[in-house]
């Protein structure tokens, strides 16, 4: 019984229900939900791991059930911003670009060790396969991602024609 694992913590579920009850009528309108208000409701500080566990689950429930995304970074340390639909698209675009940067970095890391420096032949084979797969993923989607990123940029402002 020492190895028993709890899948759910009922106290976290209770706190999530408390937050769902308090913020029942949220709309995707860009409002800021301040940590101060959430802290007073939960009687926790926003720096505690329990606060993070509760708010992570609450945010996941809001996204899955009500299609609301709460951005923690957009609140700049003050709380969570309820993203508007347009902001959700911009947020997702930033995340996709970040994945591309992470893939580039992973490829550089994978390619750094020379195969002859690896001690295990299985690791050499795995390195080669991993490098091929990550480059294929990156190259397959690179042009589509670039096109999508360009599509979200604002249209350039053209100079006005003079009336001389």
Strands 79-82 and 32-34: antiparallel
What pLDDT sits at residue 126? 94
Q: What is the pLDDT of residue 123?
A: 94
CA dihedral 56, 58, 59, 64 (to 10 degrees): 120
Q: Which two tokens stand for residue 67?
A: 């299609």
Share of the chain above pLDDT 70, in %: 89
pLDDT tens, position by position, 59-100? 999 999 999 999 998 888 899 999 999 899 888 888 888 888
Encode pLDDT of 133-149 as tens digits: 988 888 887 777 677 66
Q: Helix, strand, or coil here: 124?
A: helix
Q: Which two tokens stand for residue 5?
A: 């694992």
Write down the mean pLDDT value for the chain: 87
Distance CA 65, CA 67 (A): 6
Model confidence, pTM? 0.69
| 41-54 mean pLDDT | 94
């Amino acid at each position: 019984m020492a190895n028993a694992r709890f899948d759910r913590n009922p106290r976290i579920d209770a706190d999530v229900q408390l937050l769902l009850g308090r913020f029942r009528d949220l709309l995707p309108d860009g409002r800021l939900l301040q940590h101060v208000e959430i802290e007073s409701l939960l009687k926790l500080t926003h720096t505690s791991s329990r606060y993070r566990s509760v708010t992570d689950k609450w945010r996941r429930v809001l996204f899955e059930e009500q299609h609301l995304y709460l951005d923690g970074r957009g609140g700049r340390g003050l709380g969570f911003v309820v993203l508007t639909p347009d902001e959700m698209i911009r947020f997702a675009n930033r995340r996709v670009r970040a994945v591309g940067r992470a893939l580039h970095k992973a490829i550089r890391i994978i390619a750094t060790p020379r195969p002859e420096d690896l001690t295990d032949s299985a690791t050499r084979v795995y390195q080669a396969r991993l490098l091929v797969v990550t480059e294929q993923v990156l190259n397959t989607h690179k042009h589509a991602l670039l096109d999508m990123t360009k599509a979200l940029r604002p249209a350039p402002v053209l100079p006005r024609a003079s009336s001389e």
